[in-house]
């Protein structure tokens, strides 16, 4: 989610870093981060502010999607419940449209039921899998 939020132009100067590819004989290159990164202390607040503003901007056209994004989102998890498959499919579609306007994209939708015909999203296996480093 953080990498989907652009750093404002006026703040980019504090997101500079040096890189020299282990060649100590040359001056390092200077790069600027253009998106919010995990290490920034205010990153969670910046990302949530961008998400909430996106929801507010979509509220007129998609009021239920905006409400869900505003009230039922914790960091990058949207957790809500509806009464029918049709409601779920419409809500997913509307949330995707609202988020698209803010350049956000849902990586994966997870549901406890198959959403029916035309749903091309892969079903997710929710088990945790651990792999040994020595494998």
- Considering the entire predicted model, what is its pTM? 0.69
Q: What is the enclosing helix (H) or strand (E) of 11? A: none
Residue 53, token pair as written in the block = 């503003």
Q: Tell whether 52 and 77 lie within a shared domain.
A: yes
pLDDT-based confidence at residue 130 (cuts at 50, 70, 90):
very low
What are the E-state strand segments in the chain? 16-19, 29-32, 73-74, 77-78
Which residue reads 């919010």 in tokens?
36
In a domain, 131, yes or no: no
pLDDT tens sequence across 80-115? 988 888 899 999 999 999 999 988 888 888 887 777
What is the sign, positive or negative, of the torsion defined by CA atoms of 128, 120, 56, 72? negative
In a domain, 22, yes or no: yes
Q: How many domains does the chain have?
A: 2
Q: Tell whether 21 and 53 lie within a shared domain.
A: no
In a domain, 27, yes or no: yes
pLDDT tens sequence across 10-50? 988 888 888 888 888 888 888 888 888 877 788 888 888 88
Domain, as residue range, for 14:
2-32
Q: Tell whether 12 and 59 lie within a shared domain.
A: no
In a domain, 132, yes or no: no
In a domain, 49, yes or no: yes
């Amino acid at each position: 989610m953080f990498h989907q939020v652009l750093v404002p132009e006026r703040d980019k100067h504090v997101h500079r870093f040096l890189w020299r590819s282990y060649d100590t004989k040359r001056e390092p290159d200077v790069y600027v981060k253009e998106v919010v990164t995990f290490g920034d202390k205010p990153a969670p607040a910046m990302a949530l502010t961008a998400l909430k503003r996106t929801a507010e901007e979509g509220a007129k056209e998609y009021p239920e999607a905006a409400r869900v994004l505003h009230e039922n989102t914790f960091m990058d998890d949207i957790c809500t419940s509806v009464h029918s498959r049709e409601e779920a499919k419409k809500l997913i579609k509307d949330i995707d449209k609202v988020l698209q306007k803010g350049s956000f994209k849902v990586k994966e939708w997870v549901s406890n039921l198959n959403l029916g015909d035309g749903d091309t999203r892969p079903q997710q296996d929710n088990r945790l899998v651990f792999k040994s480093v020595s494998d």
